[in-house]
Structure 1
Amino acid sequence: MIWEQLLSLKRFGDTHKRLRKEQDETRLGFEVDYDRIVFSKEFRSLQDKTQVIPMSKTDFVHTRLTHSLEVSVVARSLGRKVGQQILYKYPYLKEIHGYEVNDFGAIVATAALAHDIGNPPFGHSGEKAIGEFFKSGNGNRFKNNLTAKQFQDLCTFEGNANGFKILTESRAGRDGGLRLSYATLGAFIKYPKESLPMKPTKHICDKKFGVFQSEINNFKELTEELGLVSRTTSNDLSYCRHPLAYLVEAADDICYTIIDFEDGINLGLIQEEYALEYLINLVRDSINKQKYAVLKTVQDRVSYLRALAINTLINECAELFMKHEPSILEGELPKSLLDYSKYLAQITDIINISVSNIYQSKEVVNKELAGYKVLNGLLDIYTASVENKMKANSTSYDNLVFKSLPEHVQFKDDDFYFNLMSVCSYISKLSDTNAILAYRRLSGDIIL
């Protein structure tokens, strides 16, 4: 892979190249990408989607929106640090093509801003709830109407693939979705493969999948433009990552490791004295003991250590990226950047505590229970109405169900996959609150 191709400014629908040296410096194409994400309805809905702690009324616990913004800030710093070194190593990128340090920051920041845009309500349990509806629930009845890959898309419903769908899916008046630059879309896709075969190797690219069958044509066009290297000799689609996807992943890993831990401390789910020791172990080389000693509140102490920890990991990940950059361009780096960190033991300790004290806490378990009930209920109702419509057996209730959906949710008379994906895509865009309200409304619990 080569950087000048990986940094493509092209967008879906373009008939000519967009050259970096011809860009308006006051409104660069990569910065336009960021703006389009911020103003999208799908991004705004993240303000009412669970990060870890459900429906918290405290002002310091993260939603998907605040998490995404923080990941974006970390990603921007990572992108700029790496961009500076890439331009030093490959000066022609600046001298001939006109690329600047901030271009790398903008690409990585935008991809990071959108990294959770495809996640359903109720956190990762929402993905599991949708998948299990088709794998072992009432949705299993559609298996014979779908290809193996189509059915797998539904059985392992993946927020990353759904995010690519949201960003690129055309609808009336919006050809090419948000029409982001190909460089940004490439950095967004952490798992550039189809849903099958599942985890064929231990390479990080195969951990999950990043594209539904419904977006295969867009995916092929993207990989060709960016020059991503194929990782398979079969007809299955699997590619090496865009190099900047490693930075997006690192920014997310840094934030959920450190900031989820911070939330757990602030909520009292993790004892302060016990927890701060782990953070101090991560920042021993940079902590100002005098400054730390005068901090009086838990929040101030945690905030100080969190900032140091994030800065420490940003600097290290930038160094790790450049150390492994030749392997990354060859598509041969098999692990995430943090897996090579000298602080891996400390990071692992922090994650293990978060798993036991936060992710398995009663509040989170109760959220997951509610999410399963709500999403299964919505899927039951919508898929039954779709099936009746396709069999020309629609009831009056089915007709009302369809009228309750937004106009942009479309269905086809003879395409089960398209229709089931339309249902799942619609549900995935709902906020936690709106998913609950829709379930209650369709169940006759409330009349609005």
Structure 2
Amino acid sequence: MNWLQLLSHKRPGETNTIAHDQTRSRFDQDYDRIIFSHPFRKLQDKTQVFPLPEDDFVHTRLTHSLEVAVVGRSLAKNAGTHLLEKYPELRKSGYTIHDFGGIVGAACLAHDLGNPPFGHSGEDSISSFFLTNEKGQFFKEKVSAKEWKDLTTFEGNAQGLRILNGKGNGGLKLTFATLGAFTKYPLSSSCEKEKGRKSQKKFGYYQCNSQLFHEMANEMELIPVGENKWCRHPLAFLVEAADDICYHIIDLEDGCRLGLVPFETVKELLAEIIGDSYSEEKVQKIPSQNERLGTLRALAINQLIKECSDAFIEHEEHMLDGSFDTDLTSLIPSAPAMKKIIDLSIEKIYRSKIVLEKEAGGYEVIDNLIEAFSTAVYAKYFDNPLPKHQSVLRLLPEEFEVQLKSAESVYEALQIVIDFISGLTDSHAVRLYKTIKGYRLPV
């Protein structure tokens, strides 16, 4: 792979070559389009770890995505400084470090767009409906084997790509470079996964986006590693690192603020990352615990940015030839400390009562919603609807009704239902569930 192709600022469907504008590049446009999009705004009411938080400091998907974008932009500018010196043709073509920052920043902003309400329990619930629910299994004979694989393995990354390239959402149409950096898993759901390849841990696109992904891979000359799967775009490693840094450190910070992890424990873990720059004397001079946490978090993230930038530069050539395929945070000097943080987070945070209650409740809400809407949609558009089906469908926003009228297959109709369910905020999902179940009737 080569960087001039990898930094393509063309958009899907474009045939003419567009001049690169340094004043407001197309990567800046990508960033702005995401910020102003409806799916991005809805992240403000989607669970990161803790449900519907009352504490100001607890993160939602929105604040998490903004912070990942900040970290990703810093990583990319560090990497871009090195790449512009190493490959003079990039500078001659008008690229600057801001282009690297724009691409990775935009991809980071979008990295959670496909996540449904209630986090991972929402993902599991959508898949389980088709796998284990009798009404979900009904659809198996109505779709192809590859389409069934999409439905039974809902994946937030693939859903995100679908959102970014859907007909709705104001027509985001991001550049190929941003879409490449966004795609951590460049393969379809039906591909066999190779053990040991981080880029094949999950999948990155549904069958409905297959043509788009082939166009993207061809434009940027991604290296194929089998049928319908490719090597990662190198900048995807930076997006992944930014996400890893933020959720390791920020989830720990939130857990401390909510009293799930003692401050002294957090301080020791972050001090291990900060290293020689850590000063107990300076920490003790900070008046409040919240301020101490914020200072330690900032120092730890700064150190991790430096270490991950160095790791990217060290392995960049192997990324280009496709021989590198692991996460950067596992290779840095702070990797042992990061491992301690994730082990502690699993025990004290992700398995805490408040999180487990959220997951159990979210599972029930999503399962009931997808059953109600998928059954009603099939009855109306492919069978004979009952009055209750009509009542459920009246709860759909107008734009989804318009899309369903033009759906040409059961698979396409079910994907539109999934678009609706996965795009709900936590609060909207709960209200809709109560409405459908009859728990929330107007008086």
- Taking structure 2 as the reference length, the TM-score comes to 0.96
Contact 2:46 2:425 in 1 (8 A): yes
Q: Which residue of 2 aligns with 1:46?
A: 43
Contact 2:66 2:109 in 1 (8 A): yes
2:63 is the counterpart of 1:66: yes
| Distance in 1 of aligned mates of 2:332 and 2:143 | 43
> Which of these residues, 318, 328, 336, is aligned with residue 327 of structure 2?
336
Look up the equivalent residue of 1:115 and give its one-letter code: H
| Distance in 2 of aligned mates of 1:321 and 1:275 | 27
2:148 is the counterpart of 1:151: yes
| Secondary structure in 2 matching 1:26 | coil
Q: CA deviation at 1:414?
A: 5.3
Q: Which residue of 2 aligns with 1:285?
A: 276
Q: CA deviation at 1:100?
A: 0.5
Q: Which residue of 2 aligns with 1:418?
A: 412
> Which of these residues, 221, 224, 230, is aligned with residue 224 of structure 2?
230
Q: 1:92 to 1:391 in 2, by over 3 A?
A: closer
> Which of these residues, 116, 122, 133, is aligned with residue 118 of structure 2?
122
| Distance in 2 of aligned mates of 1:219 and 1:37 | 20
Segment drifting more, 340-349 vs 159-168 = 340-349
Q: Which residue of 2 aligns with 1:358?
A: 349
| Distance in 2 of aligned mates of 1:64 and 1:45 | 9
Q: Which residue of 2 aligns with 1:165?
A: 162
Contact 1:257 1:347 in 2 (8 A): yes
Q: Which residue of 1 aligns with 2:82?
A: 85
| Secondary structure in 1 matching 2:360 | helix
Contact 1:169 1:215 in 2 (8 A): no
Q: CA deviation at 1:26?
A: 3.2
Q: CA RMSD in A?
A: 1.4
User: Higher helix proportion, which one?
Assistant: 2
Contact 1:78 1:314 in 2 (8 A): yes
| Distance in 2 of aligned mates of 1:351 and 1:198 | 28
Deviations 1:368-406 (A, max 9, x none): 111111101101111111221244311122222222212
Q: Which residue of 1 aligns with 2:6?
A: 6
Segment drifting more, 136-145 vs 376-385 = 136-145
> Which of these residues, 255, 260, 264, is aligned with residue 251 of structure 2?
260
| Distance in 2 of aligned mates of 1:358 and 1:246 | 26
Q: Percent identity?
A: 45
Q: 1:258 to 1:368 in 2, by over 3 A?
A: same
Contact 2:161 2:204 in 1 (8 A): yes
| Secondary structure in 2 matching 1:231 | strand
> Which of these residues, 302, 316, 321, is aligned with residue 311 of structure 1?
302
Q: Which residue of 2 aligns with 1:205?
A: 199
Q: Which residue of 2 aligns with 1:98?
A: 94
Q: Which residue of 2 aligns with 1:188?
A: 182
Q: 1:368 to 1:189 in 2, by over 3 A?
A: same
Runs of 5+ unmatched residues, structure 1: none
Q: CA deviation at 1:141?
A: 1.9
Look up the equivalent residue of 2:189 and give its one-letter code: S
Runs of 5+ unmatched residues, structure 2: none
Deviations 1:227-247 (A, max 9, x none): 111111xxx310111110000
| Distance in 2 of aligned mates of 1:48 and 1:69 | 14
| Distance in 2 of aligned mates of 1:334 and 1:28 | 30
Q: Which residue of 1 aligns with 2:106?
A: 110
Contact 2:191 2:229 in 1 (8 A): no
2:378 is the counterpart of 1:398: no
Q: CA deviation at 1:101?
A: 0.8
Deviations 1:401-425 (A, max 9, x none): 2222122212256511111111111
| Distance in 2 of aligned mates of 1:203 and 1:403 | 45
Contact 2:158 2:204 in 1 (8 A): yes
Look up the equivalent residue of 1:346 and give its one-letter code: A
Contact 2:183 2:236 in 1 (8 A): yes
Q: CA deviation at 1:275?
A: 2.3
Q: CA deviation at 1:439?
A: 1.2
Contact 2:435 2:441 in 1 (8 A): yes
Q: CA deviation at 1:444?
A: 2.1
| Distance in 1 of aligned mates of 2:203 and 2:146 | 11
Q: CA deviation at 1:334?
A: 2.1
| Distance in 2 of aligned mates of 1:283 and 1:163 | 34
Contact 1:390 1:414 in 2 (8 A): no
Look up the equivalent residue of 1:316 and give its one-letter code: E
| Secondary structure in 1 matching 2:275 | coil
| Distance in 2 of aligned mates of 1:202 and 1:408 | 42
Contact 2:191 2:228 in 1 (8 A): no
| Secondary structure in 1 matching 2:283 | helix
| Distance in 1 of aligned mates of 2:218 and 2:393 | 38
Q: CA deviation at 1:273?
A: 1.5
Segment drifting more, 408-417 vs 298-307 = 408-417
| Distance in 1 of aligned mates of 2:265 and 2:13 | 54
Q: CA deviation at 1:256?
A: 0.3
Look up the equivalent residue of 1:29 and give its one-letter code: R
Q: Which residue of 2 aligns with 1:29?
A: 26
Aligned pair count? 438
Q: 1:198 to 1:264 in 2, by over 3 A?
A: farther
Deviations 1:62-116 (A, max 9, x none): 0000000000000010010000100010011112x11011100010000000000
| Distance in 1 of aligned mates of 2:72 and 2:407 | 43
Q: Which residue of 1 aligns with 2:263?
A: 272
| Distance in 1 of aligned mates of 2:221 and 2:116 | 31
Contact 2:271 2:296 in 1 (8 A): yes
Contact 2:146 2:189 in 1 (8 A): yes
Q: CA deviation at 1:269?
A: 0.2
Contact 1:120 1:427 in 2 (8 A): yes
